Chain A
Amino acid sequence: MSSTSLYVDADSFLHRLDPRAKLALLLAMAVPAYTFGRPAFIAIPFVAALIGLWIGGGLRNLRRVWFIIVALFIVGLVVWPGFVERGGPVVVDVGPVFLTEQQTLFALGRSLRITSFILGGLVYVSTTSNEEIVRGMRGLGLPYAFCFAVGTALRLFPTFLDAAGTVRQAQEARGLEISSKNPIERARSFIPLLIPVFMTAFRNIETQSMALEARGFDTRSERTFYRESTFATRDWLAVGATVAVSIASIALSTVGVGTF
């Protein structure tokens, strides 16, 4: 597995689940995070996602994406108060910053929602390998050609990422300046980086296509698979839990529990 991947090779309960069951669990975190508005309620899927990361050994991935999560959380706290009516006691009144309790709770809820979504996604990618992602898509009934393209792209991506790094180093060694203060100059300096990478990538398409066809690749015919997806009892339990959590969240929020 390439170092660019967030997948953690382990044998946890989450790893053993079918990729479709893991997608269902992702939904079980997303539905309450979406239906509830109050931070105390959205904190439940947030904490569940953190526990999922701990179980799946994905906490180390937090180190790679913490900056994004913190930035999104702060941006939510800054942006959302401007879109809510003031109400309740004043929480902050410092210079131009004036926040009421309602604005603060609303913004906190929205920030928790977006970070819960990201953490839930992180649990999925930490416990699901590229091959399983594609197998899950196939299991959901997506067409084989589409799944093949996604699988091939996932395999090619680290190669092109490495190539992009190499081209950057090579061009900088030749004197390419990509940190000019003039924004137009700076933008144009990326052309010598973009072109070599994608010309290299596209040069072999003809040969790769012929190689595929020579091995009998045909997107129209019925296919058989060496490894068929089986949905075990634990997977059905995960789906059942998702349905229960989703129905409960929708029902509770409909009667005003956990909402503003």
Chain B
Amino acid sequence: MRELLTMWRDTRMVMLVAVVAAVYAALLIPFKLFTILPGLTSIRPANVLPVFFGIAFGPAAAWGSAIGNLIGDVFGGTFGPGSIGGFVGNFFFGLVGYKLWGNLGPLSSGEEPDFRNQRLRQLIEYVAVAVAAAAACAAIIAWVVDALELVPFSVLGPIILTNNAVSAVVLGPPLFYLAYPRVKEMGLLYPDVLRTEDLPSRANSAGALAMLVVPLVWIGIAVLVLGGAPGSTAQIGLGAVGFLVTAVAAYVAGENFSAIVREA
């Protein structure tokens, strides 16, 4: 997790944060696939970007997605206390990708995400990463919004999970196939930009698998067990535990993508 702070020393990473944020915000607003609740939530193709950016740009994508979502709120007129949840949720939306790719033990393909070799294994790994990222983002946003007693977790959590996961799963593979080699060619993959000493020195599959499972279990308990109790101590407490465990899992997971890139 140290890389989330040390990346700010590198000018290219700072520029990546800015460009990721601007591109994410610029593509979030104008393009939408389907409206689920008017004014509140739509399935947007740009929801694939934090997953793509997360794997390619690593920590810069985590900060960039968070800032991009905040810019979307500012320009979209929905800036307010709920934007705190959007910031942290989208931070994790971008964070999960690089923590999990190549680090999921038996679920990992051991390949770069270019969908050229071992396509089925890459697809399985990608779906796991995309769903984990979508779930972490959904759980955190729904937790904060529920704690503010704006919209119940049981309503918003599944909607955000669906929104994020549908776009990421459907659009991810073709996007990686077409764009990943070009980003790599530009030398912008985070293992190529960050100094080796700034990268986590270890990879831990147990931590990565926990990052996959914990947000899904968190949403499951919040919706199916606690259900209709918005702003309750149980819901807030579950969120605090879920968030803490996800953050600790992210720290423990390290990352393995840089090793895959170096070996390629």
Interface residues of B in 60-79 (CB under 8 A from A): 63-64, 67-68, 70-71, 73-79
Question: Interface with B: A68-76, A90-98, A242-250, which one?
Answer: A68-76
A205 to B152, CA, bound (A): 41
Closest to B45 in A: A190
Q: At the interface, yes or no: B33 with Cβ under 8 Å from chain A?
A: yes
At the interface, yes or no: A8 with Cβ under 8 Å from chain B? no
Count residues on chain A whose CB falls below 8 Å from chain B CBs.
75
| Complex Cα–Cα for A197 and B20 (A) | 11
Residues of A within 8 A of B228 (CB): 82-83
Asked if B8 and A143 sit within 8 Å, CB to CB, the answer is: yes
A34 at the interface (CB under 8 A from B): yes
Q: How many positions in chain B have a CB within 8 Å of any CB in the partner chain? A: 68
The interface bits of chain A over 139-159 (1 if a CB of B lies within 8 angstroms of the residue's CB, else 0) are 000010110111011101101
Contact B12 A149 (CB under 8 A): no
Contact B19 A202, beta carbon cutoff 8 Å: yes
Distance between A110 CB and nearest chain B CB, rounded to angstroms: 6
For residue A15, give the distance in angstroms from its CB to the closest CB of chain B.
17
Is B170's CB under 8 angstroms from A125's CB?
Answer: no
User: Shortest CB–CB separation between residue A142 and chain B, in angstroms?
Assistant: 11
Q: Are B77 and A6 in touch, CB under 8 angstroms?
A: yes
Q: Which of A124-145 contact B (CB under 8 A)?
A: 124-125, 133, 143, 145
List chain A positions with a Cβ less than 8 A from chain B.
4-6, 26, 30, 34, 61, 64-65, 67-72, 75-76, 79-80, 82-83, 110, 113-114, 117-118, 120-122, 124-125, 133, 143, 145-146, 148-150, 152-154, 156-157, 159-161, 163-165, 168, 183-184, 186-188, 190-191, 193-195, 197-199, 201-203, 205-206, 208-209, 212-213, 217, 219-220
Measured CB to CB, the residues of B under 8 A from A are: 8-9, 11-12, 14-19, 21-23, 25-27, 29-31, 33-34, 37-40, 45-46, 48-49, 63-64, 67-68, 70-71, 73-83, 148-152, 155, 166-167, 170-171, 174-175, 178-179, 182-183, 186-188, 228-230
A sample of 20 cross-chain residue pairs with beta-carbon separation below 8 angstroms, ordered by A number, consists of A64-B77, A68-B40, A68-B78, A71-B37, A113-B149, A113-B150, A117-B80, A117-B150, A118-B79, A121-B79, A121-B83, A124-B79, A149-B21, A164-B26, A164-B27, A188-B170, A190-B31, A193-B45, A202-B183, A206-B188
